Amino acid sequence: MGLFNRGSKSDVPLSGDEWSSNGDARKRDPVAESSDEERRHEPVEERGEALAAPEVEDAAPQDEAPVEPPPDESVVEDTAPADEEAELPSEPASSEPVPPEPAPAEAKSMPPVNQASPKDGDDARLSAKQALAPVRRPGMGRPPGAHIGDESERRAKIISFANQKGGVAKTTTTLNLAVAFAESGHDVLVIDLDPQGNLTMSQGIDPDKVERSMYDVLVDHIPIREVIQGREIDVAVASIDLAGAEIAMSMQIGRERSLEKALSAVVDDYDFVCIDTPPSLGLLTVNALTASDKVIVPVQCEYLSMRGLVQLQNTLEMIRENLNPRVQIEGILPTMLDSRTVHAKEAVEILEENFGELVFKSRIRKAIKFAEAPVRGSSVLKYDPKGNAAEYYRDLAKEVLTNGAS
C-alpha cells in the first residue's frame, strides 16, 4: 500500500521543496510562506515578468523587509544558536524554486516539438485529404507482398490456362491467345510456370541458358521484372529448376500466394496476364489459380481428356473457399478438333450438354502450323499470319474480349 499511496498524497509540496528523511515535507520559513502567498495572488502576467526578470532575487528581500520578527525571536537566537544555524540552509531552499521556474516558462513559449516550422509558401504541403486518402494513379503498382485485391482496383485481367491432363494444346493456346490480344492493342505479359519451358522455347528463348527464371521469383522472391524478356509479348521465363520449386516452397509460409505477391509489382503495367500452368494440380497450378481472375480450360476433343474437368472443378471450388473467392471459369475451349471424325463431334456435344454456355463457340482445329511455329521461335500468328490456324485464335480473342464464353 505504501508504494501506491506515495504517488497520490495530498500533501506533496508543489513548490519543489525537499522531503525530509521520514517522507514529510520540510517545514518552511514563515517569511518564505508569506512571499509564496503573495506570488500566488499576483496576476499571471506580472508573475511571468517577475520570473523572467534577472533581478528576481534582489526583489525578494525588498518585499520581505517590512516583515518584523516575532518578539521572542531574540530569545531563540540566544538560547538555541545551533538550531538557527541548522535552519539557515533552509532559507536558500525556499528561494530555490525561483531559478528553475523560468525553464517551464520558456518551454511554454516554444512551439510543439512535432510542429513543422512555417515555410514561405504552403504549395508544397499535402492537404489533409491527400494525406489521408491518396489517389492511386495508373501504373503505380503495389508494394511487394501486397495482395492483388479486387479486379476493379487494377488494370490487368489475369487468366490461367489449366488442365491437369497434358497434350491438350494448353501452351499453344496461352501463347497464341496472348499474341492475339497484343494484335488488338493490349499490353500482355505471359508467365511460363511449366518446368518443361515449352512456352519459353516457343519465343526463341533457351530455358537452359536463362540466368534467372520463375523459380527464383517463387522461391527466392526476386522481383518478377528481373525474369521478364521482351519478344512478341513480354515473357516471364521458365527453367528446369521449376521442377523443384514445389519442394522448395513447401516449407514457406503463404506459399500458395507467392505468385500473387510477385505480380503485385507489375499488375498495373499490363491489360492481360496469361499464365501457362504445368499438367498437374500441384502447388504451381494452385499459385496460378490463386492469383487469377479467370481460368480458360483447353480440352482435347476426346472422351478421356474431358474426364479431368470434374477434378479441376473440385480444385477450383477448394481455392474459392480458402484462397481466392473471385476466380471463375472463363470458358472451356475445345482444341485439336478433327471435324472429320464422329468421335470429335460427339465429344463436343458432350461438353455442351454438361457445361452449356461455358463452352466457347470458337474451335481450335488441328493444323500443322501449330507444330511448325515453335521451331521458328514464334507464335502461329507471326509464323503464318494469314493462315487458318492464326484465325482460330483471333476469333477466340474477339470472343474473350467481348463477353467470354457466354
pLDDT digits (tens, 9 = 90+) for 349-398: 989 988 899 999 999 999 999 999 999 999 999 999 999 999 999 999 99
**Per-residue pLDDT tens digits for 51-69:** 444 444 444 444 444 455 5
Each domain of the chain, given as residue ranges in start order, spans 158-403
CATH code of domain 158-403: 3.40.50.300
**Per-residue pLDDT tens digits for 124-135:** 454 544 444 333
Q: What is the pLDDT of residue 394?
A: 96
274: exposed, middle or buried (Cβ count in 10 Å: 0-12, 13-18, 19+): buried
Phi-psi region of 141 (alpha: psi -120 to 50; beta: other; left: phi over 0): left
Residue among 298, 317, 318 nearest 175 (CA): 298
Phi-psi region of 386 (alpha: psi -120 to 50; beta: other; left: phi over 0): alpha
Pairing of strands 228-230, 234-236: antiparallel
- Strands (DSSP E) along 143-183, which ranges? 157-161
- List the chain residues with pLDDT less than 50: 1-10, 12-23, 25, 27, 30-35, 44-66, 73-95, 103-109, 111-115, 117-118, 124, 126, 128-147, 149, 151, 405-406
Element (H or E) spanning 335, and its range?
strand 328-335
State whether residue 18 is helix, strand or coil: coil
Long-range CB contacts (< 8 A, 24+ apart) of 138-142? 138/268, 139/268, 139/269, 140/268, 141/264, 141/265, 141/266, 141/267, 141/268, 141/269, 142/264, 142/265, 142/267, 142/268
C-beta of residue 258 within 8 angstroms of C-beta of residue 287: yes
C-beta of residue 334 within 8 angstroms of C-beta of residue 345: no
Q: What is the pLDDT of residue 172?
A: 96
Q: What is the pLDDT of residue 174?
A: 97
Q: What is the pLDDT of residue 305?
A: 74
The 3-state secondary structure of 58-105 reads HHHHHHHCCCCCCCCHHHHHHHCHHHHHHHCCHHHHHHCCCCCCHHHH
C-beta of residue 95 within 8 angstroms of C-beta of residue 32: yes
Q: What is the pLDDT of residue 101?
A: 52
- Strands (DSSP E) along 107-196, which ranges? 157-161, 188-192
Helix axis angle, 44-52 to 102-109, nearest 10°:
110
C-alpha cell at 89: 540552509
Q: What is the pLDDT of residue 110?
A: 52
